[in-house]
Structure 1
Amino acid sequence: MAASGFVGRAAELARLDALLARVGDARRDLPGVAVLLRGRRRVGKSRLVQVFCERAGVPSVFFQASQGADPAAERVAFAAAVGESELPGRDLFADGTVLPTWTAVFRQLAAALPADSPSIVVIDGLPWLIDADPALEGTLQTAWDTLLARKPVLFVLIGSDLAMMERLDDYRRPFHQRGTVMVLPALNPAEVGSMLDLPAAEAIDAYLVTGGLPLICQEWRPGESVESFLGESLADPTAALLVSGERSLAAEFPGYLQARSVLTAIGNGERTWSGVRAAMSSGVEPMAASSLTNALRLLEAKRVIAVDTPLSVKPAEKDRRYRVADPYLRFFLAFVEAGLPLVERGRADLLLRRVRRSWTSWRGRAVEPVIREALLRIAPELGWSEAEAVGGWWNRQNNPEIDLVGADRQGAATRILFTGSITWQIAKPFDQHDHSALVRDTAAVPGVGPATELLAVSRNGVAAGLPIRAVGPDDLIAAWRA
């Protein structure tokens, strides 16, 4: 099957090809190669590996774990997957025998693998298996060391729980340094623009809506406007734009009702601890401070939210601001989640009207982390080769609040290289009024000095004659093309 839908995935497929080429290499101590592949939900990990297996031309087995399934049932399902595979020893799993432990399963798997030619074994959803059977992590390490690594096999372990997949390779964990780590990101703004045939500014808009998730991008017709795409997708209850968020959240937070509610509050625009708590209270008894703190810690550990602090030479760890880390979930929580009942009643037009009403202001905030990441990438081309961090700055009163601060390091910087402002409205360029406000507010940032430069990032250009460096949508998209 062709991999034509894999826009931007050529590098990842090539890396998997290179890892398969290492299998059985006589220069290596053991013939087997293990891979730990992680990436957020709906980003295309399973599809990437399926396409890779189809192209590889070697025997393979692909096992998909189920969330919350009983370990014994998962062993039966794994045995069935091997029995239906192309492995030369698949008949060892064809008699319906229920193996009592994962140790027995892996021992039989090793016997089913070819001894003199490469094969591929994929376990998708590894965190779910470990959740159901915590001892599996140690069992997996033992089976790899004593059995599987001695066969010419590419052993691919896939997971969407980013924190757990990172911990698997921690030096204190059994599988440490036994597998090559791969991270599959979402499509970046340049890849989204290329896939959808959109100019730079519209490509960034599309990225803010889709988060670069391939399943959603595939439903966006090339050259289609945001307005047209939303009009069609919001009216279709089965559209990936609507269903992906609910499925991701259900898989990420089964039983974590408070964390889910806190995430919704952040997604609806609450950025501070006190703001989130007030939103959670809703006129009734306030949420316990400890409960809120625990929920925020869980969300941060799962990489679902990001925590920003003011960037300057003076640390301000207490002035934290929370935001939804994933661009698509940011859009879903702000607009779609609360609007699903309207879609079910056939009134998607009302939901689309809500989006239209709030789009410009929402986009102005949502684009900030995207712009900061792009600036960090192109900082050397802009003359700031020392820049290791791009963030923002604010005080307790949010007056002033600086959109962009570039510094020589994260946390307590020693040098502020530039400060800047973002204007992302539809028809308004960065003008003299914006410049005067930036000059005035920049003076409040600790560490700003005569050498600190000014930057304007504008969707619609900069008024002529202003003494400021300018960056536009084309420059931002170029950050990922490089």
Structure 2
Amino acid sequence: MRKGHFVGRRRELASLGRRLDLVTEDGRGKAITVRGRRQVGKSRLMEQFCRESRVPSLYFQASRGVSVTESLNDFVSAIAESTVPGAADTPRTAPSTWLEAFRLLNLVLPADSPAVVVIDELPWLLQQDPRLEGQLQTAWDRLLSARPVLLALVGSDLHMMEAFTGYERPFYGRADELVVRPLNPAETASMTGLSGSDALDANLITGGFPGLCRVWPNGMPPREFFASQCEDPASPLFTVGESMVNSEFPNPDQARRVLEAIGHGERTFNNIAQAAGAAPGEPLKSGSLGPVLLQLREKRAVDADTPLATAPGNGGRLYRVADTYLRLYLAMLARAHEDAKRDRPDTALRRITRQWESWRGRAIEPVIREALSRAASDETFPWPEADAVGGWWPRTFAPEVDLVGADREPVARTVYYTGSVKWLGTAFDRHDFAALVRDSARVPGAGEGRAGLVVVSRSGVEPGVGADLVWGPEEVIAAWS
């Protein structure tokens, strides 16, 4: 795959295309919110759609931290520079409110042919001017919805974008929703020219963010990629993570300390509290940590896993940074970046290499769980009802069973299989299998041979391992193919 080509996103482009078709057919406007994490490729998706749609379009990119007046001026400039037929006649007098700005937009939109209007980073505009939400609703109801326009409202603040169309909010019921997710492992493989375990490594390293995949030299093995990036302190491998942390958590406050604690590998509530405290021996109080964890989960920066079995789990939540690239950045890339900036690329690479295998072994587990969940829809899969896939652990966190396939979560009616993930350079052997059998017997609903046994191994299995299903890297990637 040559760099610069647009990879994947056929589902998202088709979804946008269907809405534009409806606009064309009935001559009335449709609105859609487009949300996804930073760096996931929302802006490039919308730019590609505008190119492929071959209809007049207006693309407005909001700026963070500017005044309302500046944003209104920029919006008028975006109208004038657009391909909308009446754009050349746009008055240069800046409106004083967003309602006036949308009236101006209404004047230049065609009345009898479709157009696309994209407002990118809507949350920044909402932060600048709380009146915008109501004024946009008024403009949509009274003016824009009567035009054949597809209005796409784009944003990276997931919680704010979800709330924007929520019940009792002005725009409730007026917009469809499109969620843009990172590239999946199969798309990452196509974009980087890799296969098998190397492609899965690339997916973990880049988080499936298209911008990071584009800087990956075609077919370069992961270790060579790390080495080449450590030679360049300005590499996006480092700077994208730095930008993400600084933009979403600009101050070194409690939220940032908690995120960093989780990124460094703390998974339990108590351990996070200890690591995120203001000083050693002074853990963050539970009354403070709880709301911070809730905030991080609402922002989709952190996920929380709970034990999956036929009985309610008493093992408590295990927290992890939601996307693997940011998780990697917090765990090792941030410090490696400091080494690289001090002209010590060898030290940076050693730091990454020293932690890589153990980090990768845990980071791959959610990817494998999602792959198994997707595979349940395949008629050849042994347990088609097992579309809920998680893990299980008791209060002591010993043992931890990597994989539990069940009919629903968080409390299952039926556990169909348990399994183990071994993502190392050695094969899954009979000792590993004996441990899986022993530990699986403790999972409520899986004991006494009632559930199948699954092995997912990076380096294959030894003869004599009697698993009901064995997967390697190729099968994991194939779940998305």
For the aligned pair, the TM-score class normalised by the smaller chain equals over 0.9
Per the alignment, residue 129 of structure 1 pairs with 125
**Structure 1 gap segments, 5+ residues each:** none
Q: Is the 8 A contact 2:374 2:387 kept in 1?
A: no
What is the rounded CA distance, in whole Å, between the counterparts of 1:255 and 1:114 in structure 2? 45
The count of residues paired between Structure 1 and Structure 2 equals 475
Letter in 2 for 1:430: F
Per the alignment, residue 404 of structure 1 pairs with 403
Of residues 297, 304, 328, the one that matches 2:294 is: 297
Q: Is the 8 A contact 2:165 2:172 kept in 1?
A: yes
What is the rounded CA distance, in whole Å, between the counterparts of 1:3 and 1:215 in structure 2? 10
Q: What is the Cα deviation at residue 171 of structure 1?
A: 2.9
Of residues 317, 331, 335, the one that matches 1:320 is: 317
Alpha carbons of structure 1 residues 89 and 256: separation in structure 2 relative to 1, 3 Å = farther
Per the alignment, residue 371 of structure 1 pairs with 368
- More displaced stretch, 175-184 vs 399-408: 175-184
What is the aligned-residue identity percentage?
48
What is the rounded CA distance, in whole Å, between the counterparts of 2:84 and 2:446 in structure 1? 64
What is the rounded CA distance, in whole Å, between the counterparts of 1:16 and 1:448 in structure 2? 44
CA RMSD of aligned residues (A): 1.8
Q: How does 1:67-466 map to 2 (within 5 A)?
A: 67-95=64-92, 97-255=93-251, 257-281=253-277, 282-283=279-280, 285-316=282-313, 319-380=316-377, 381-426=380-425, 428-449=426-447, 450-466=449-465
Letter in 2 for 1:477: I
1:329 aligned counterpart, secondary structure:
helix
User: How far does the alpha carbon of each residue in 1:256-282 deviate from its partner, in whole angstroms, 9 at most, with x for none?
Assistant: 721111111101100011111111234
2:24 aligned counterpart, secondary structure:
coil
Q: What is the Cα deviation at residue 141 of structure 1?
A: 1.3
Q: What is the Cα deviation at residue 92 of structure 1?
A: 5.0
Q: TM-score, normalised by structure 2?
A: 0.95
Letter in 1 for 2:270: S
Q: Is the 8 A contact 1:432 1:466 kept in 2?
A: yes
Of residues 5, 24, 37, the one that matches 1:40 is: 37
Q: Is the 8 A contact 1:92 1:108 kept in 2?
A: no
What is the rounded CA distance, in whole Å, between the counterparts of 1:17 and 1:90 in structure 2? 24
Q: TM-score, normalised by structure 1?
A: 0.95
What is the rounded CA distance, in whole Å, between the counterparts of 1:80 and 1:311 in structure 2? 53
User: How far does the alpha carbon of each residue in 1:369-421 deviate from its partner, in whole angstroms, 9 at most, with x for none?
Assistant: 00111011113532111113111111121111111111111011111111111
Q: Is the 8 A contact 1:24 1:118 kept in 2?
A: yes
Letter in 2 for 1:437: A
User: How far does the alpha carbon of each residue in 1:319-354 deviate from its partner, in whole angstroms, 9 at most, with x for none?
Assistant: 110001101111111111223221211112211101
What is the rounded CA distance, in whole Å, between the counterparts of 1:235 and 1:397 in structure 2? 43
Q: Is the 8 A contact 1:388 1:410 kept in 2?
A: no
- More displaced stretch, 305-314 vs 281-290: 281-290
What is the rounded CA distance, in whole Å, between the counterparts of 1:313 and 1:153 in structure 2? 50
Q: Is the 8 A contact 2:306 2:318 kept in 1?
A: yes
Letter in 2 for 1:432: R
